Copies of this chain bind each other. A is one copy, B any other.
């Protein structure tokens, strides 16, 4: 499949690309056009679509893959893509999954891994709350990213984040006596459940209005409150403790938790979440970096780069 790096100034080309984002703009003389960022799965380009009807008569939207026809001009020393046509991709025409970044594990592997931990929960109240809540938003739970840009910002990212955290959690349970593993696993499984409504979709999402106004901690607490009321367990210690774990998982008020941890399992959840949200993007970047050099800037580290020592 043709890649952007194969295309030269002056070419007339047809290629497949994902519309990462797109906005209508206006020239000084008030005629409209669309500016878009297109991705071929490896790299991105900016493009202009002067003929708005290409977008507006075909329901072309950001987050999907299309077939483009374009001419490549030179503008200010750089290539400028002028889109001539946009066409829908028919079923089976190409494998569109290659246009989206995804977790190292597949949706099925993550589903199986996460379910194996769910089954370890023997407390019936915690089990039923976790099972039912996940079931209600299963498609989003297993397909959404964990964030727009900071960490696990790719297809399946949320489930991959949760699964890695469950793995660390099992080691914490072994190492620190006194931990209630049911509560910790339920907390890991549900701590980011609100993200299924905070984000608009599994691929290149934005924040929903609900996400902007309430955030995933509050949305998750609301979902749990309604589930607990439906199951008649709103006066149980389990519901109160699980609510605390969700509320406190950012660890400090200034990171958006309305209460700081005061339960052992809430501390464990916070440390595991913190570690995974940093280690996962570092790991991904280190794997792409040559020993003895520095990585690309990493968003979740405030755009710091990581140095990979030249050690066997």
- Minimum distance in angstroms from A116 CB to a CB of chain B: 16
Bound-state CA distance A218–B8 (Å) is: 49
Question: Does chain B have a CB within 8 A of A263?
Answer: yes
From B9, B218, B226, B237, contact of A247 by CB (8 A): B218
Cβ–Cβ contact A175 & B279, under 8 A? yes
Known contacts A9-B28, A225-B222, A253-B253; is-contact A176 B283 (Cβ 8 Å): yes
A175 to B169, CA, bound (A): 12
Copies in the complex: 6
CB distance from A46 to the nearest CB of B (A): 11
CB distance from A231 to the nearest CB of B (A): 12
Which of B168, B263, B280, B292 interacts with A306 by CB under 8 Å? B263
A21-66 with Cβ < 8 A to chain B: 27-30
Give chain A interface residues in 164-192, CB to chain B under 8 Å. Answer: 164, 167-168, 171-172, 174-180, 182-183
Task: Find out whether the CB atom of A28 lies under 8 angstroms from the CB atom of B79.
Answer: yes
Do A259 and B222 form a contact, CB below 8 Å, given A7-B28, A282-B264, A283-B178?
no
Smallest beta-carbon distance A89→chain B, Å: 25
Closest B residue to A174 by beta carbon equals B167
A86 at the interface (CB under 8 A from B): no
Instruction: List chain B residues, Cβ under 8 A from A221.
Output: 218, 221-222, 225
Contact A210 B240 (CB under 8 A): yes
Q: Is the CB of B262 within 8 A of A311?
A: no
Q: Given A214-B259, A263-B213 in contact, is the A238-B164 Cβ separation under 8 Å?
A: no
Q: Indicate if A98 sits at the interface (CB-CB under 8 A).
A: no
A305 interface contact, C-beta 8 A:
yes
Set of chain B residues within 8 Å of A214, measured between Cβ atoms? 240, 243-244, 247, 258-259
Which stretch, A129-137, A144-152, A267-275, touches the partner chain B?
A: A267-275
Q: How far is the CA of A309 from the CA of B307 in the complex (A)?
A: 40
Q: A5: CB under 8 A from chain B?
A: yes
- Residues of B with C-beta under 8 A to A7: 28
Q: Is A312 an interface residue (CB 8 A)?
A: yes
The residue from B78, B237, B259, B280 contacting A256, defined by CB atoms under 8 A apart: B259
Q: List 5 A-B contacts (CB under 8 A).
A: A7-B28, A167-B174, A237-B309, A253-B253, A262-B306
